[in-house]
Structure 1
């Protein structure tokens, strides 16, 4: 087990999480201040998701050409450039392609970084090591909104800080080994539909958490503001949600190394369903500060356990292909989640966001309790 390399790769991805935690809420708050509606904000939030769909197919091929470490470094550089450009050009139309570039480059970071971490992990430590990565990423996203509450959303400091954090990840990857081996002729072929047919519960869990992750960092602050909560409190509530995800991933990873992982998977779906349905009812009650961490932990647990279940079965090129499929599913959730929630919130119900999450959790439970739901058929 190459612990130093594991720490370096995890550290680089954690810096990405911190940069996203600062920049994503800032984009939504800036657009809201400019007078854009929730659907327009949802369209902006969906642009990186379109980039995910492109980046997922690029990551496998890029790793074959340049190697995993160099591909990660190049992607971090492009991400920093796209975030810095947001500070330089304050225009909705110009921000759309910049957010597309950010989605492409960060997808390569996540596909290769998560494949590298799973490749390094010993089987009897896999649950804890993947959970530790998830904890670090969640904590970084927690610190992002807190930093933004200090910096404020009026200036450009948040964008510049995010760009600097992305650049800091580049030197961490110098001279590291143990990455998945990908041939120079590597390409992402078919297999996504077969993966979804073979493991529909895992596939939908990725889609659901992707939608949740983007909604929390983009539309949740706007949802809270429009329900009468002050901006500072809204950012702190966002932080409480991410904190719950961060604090409970390690205990979940420990349980995943000792108990049946599929049972934990289903339990996370049940908790997510209950918490989503309770959010509109408890939004202005003190109990919301207990509900929000539970909501974040259950959603984050779905993705952590999906990675563990995939990582225990694949290595090298096959592992990277599987993570490319996961990235495509992530892009689908990131694209559809903000669009559906923004439209529902603007035209159907002000509580469209939590109700949409509840519907997604219910569908996951239906898939997860089917006979043979976790028999690997493809």
Structure 2
């Protein structure tokens, strides 16, 4: 196994998490300060989803022409420019276009990066090493709000730090090998339908976690402000959710190499249901802090286990295409989650965000009990 390449690819993807973690909450807090309500902020959070769908459909074709490593470097530099322009163009409509571009560009990075990592790892270490990727990515996102809290939200330092990270990280990929090969093909929504029919529980979990992540970085700060917390406490709560996501991914990955991955998956879905329902009840108590940890851990565990299950089934172009479908589902989740939560928060209930997560997680609990929910290989995973 190419350990140097594994950590180089890991670090380049982590730079994306840190850049998004330091810049995306700043976007939402800035919009809230400008007087925008939950729904337009939700629209802003959902805009990258359209870019995600575009990027996922093009990843395999562009990688076959430019090479995986070359394409990843170009997309990271493109992301750097887009994040920098967020600071230079303080306009709602300009930010919509830039968020669209970021969604498309960085989706290609995730498709290729996750495929590269899953191609590199050996089977007996798959759970641990994929979980290390998930945990490290969560920690990189955690570092963003923490760093933003130290820098403050009044100036645009978050945008400049994010742009710098994305500008430097492509250098880590110079000379790296072992990337999966890709065919010059276009991944369509019809292909996605076949993927969802083959692995319905995994498809649901990915879309659910995508909505979770989009809402946590964009709408959770606003939700916390609406509950009466200060911006500093709101950012701390976002960071606590991400801590939960990061802390338990390695134990979950280690368990995935030893116990039934299907049972572990169902347990995470049940835990996410319970914690989501408890948030409105405990938000004004000290118990909300450990609850945020469990909330993030259960959601992150679903995504980590989904990547593990995908990695054990596919290789090379099939793996790239499968991860392109992951990104398509990510786009759908990022689009529908913030829009539904934003609209619900503004016009139905201020508790729409946790209640929406509870409904999605409960649906996953029910789906995961179906015999073929994880595909034909689930019984031996």
Normalising by structure 2, what TM-score?
Answer: 0.97
Q: How does 1:19-168 map to 2 (within 5 A)?
A: 19-168=19-168
**Deviation readout 1:102-127 (Å, 9 max, x if unpaired):** 00000000000000000001000000
Residue 160 of structure 1: how far off its partner (Å)? 0.4
Mapping for residues 339-350 of structure 1, pairs under 5 Å: 339-350=339-350
Distance in 2 (CA, whole Å) between partners of 1:95 and 1:49 is 14
How far the C-alpha of 1:280 sits from its partner, in A, is 0.7
Partner secondary structure for residue 248 of structure 2: helix
Shift of the alpha carbon at 1:197?
1.1
State the alpha-carbon separation in 1 of the partners of residues 125 and 153 from structure 2. Answer: 41
Question: Residue by residue, what CA displacement relative to the aligned partner does 1:115-162 show, whole Å, maximum 9, x if unpaired?
Answer: 000000100000000000011100011110011111111111110000
Question: 1:282-326 CA deviation, whole Å, 9 max, x = no partner?
Answer: 111111111001000000000000000010010000000111111
1:288 matched to which residue of 2? 288
Return the offset for 1:375: 2.7
What is the distance in 1 between the residues matched to 2:39 and 2:121?
41
Structure 1 residues 76-105: Cα deviation after superposition (integer angstroms, max 9, x where no partner): 011011110011111111111111000000
Q: Distance in 1 between matches of 2:253 and 2:83?
A: 33
What is the count of residue pairs matched by the alignment? 376
Shift of 1:370: 1.2
Aligned residue runs from structure 1 range 301-316, under 5 A: 301-316=301-316
Give the stretch that moved more between structures: 367-376 or 247-256: 367-376
Q: Unaligned 5+ residue runs, structure 2? A: none
Tell me the TM-score normalized by structure 1.
0.98
Residue 221 of structure 2 corresponds to 221
- Provide the residue aligned with 1:267 in structure 2: 267
Partner of 1:372: 372
Asked if 1:14 is matched to 2:6, the reply is no
- Once the two structures are superposed, what CA deviation does each residue of 1:4-55 show, in whole Å capped at 9, x if it has no partner? 0000000001111000101110000000000001100011111111100100
Alpha-carbon distance between aligned partners in 2 of 1:314 and 1:370, rounded to the nearest angstrom: 22
Alpha-carbon RMSD across the aligned residues, in angstroms, is: 0.9
CA distance in 1, matches of 2:374, 2:240: 32
SS of 1:191's partner is: helix
Shift of 1:58: 1.1
Question: For the residues of structure 2 that align with 1:232 and 1:86, how far apart are their CA atoms?
Answer: 22
CA-CA distance at 1:191 after TM superposition: 2.0
Q: How far apart are the structure 1 equivalents of 2:120 and 2:80?
A: 27
Unaligned regions of 5+ residues in structure 1, if any?
A: none
Helix, strand or coil for the counterpart of 2:70? Answer: helix
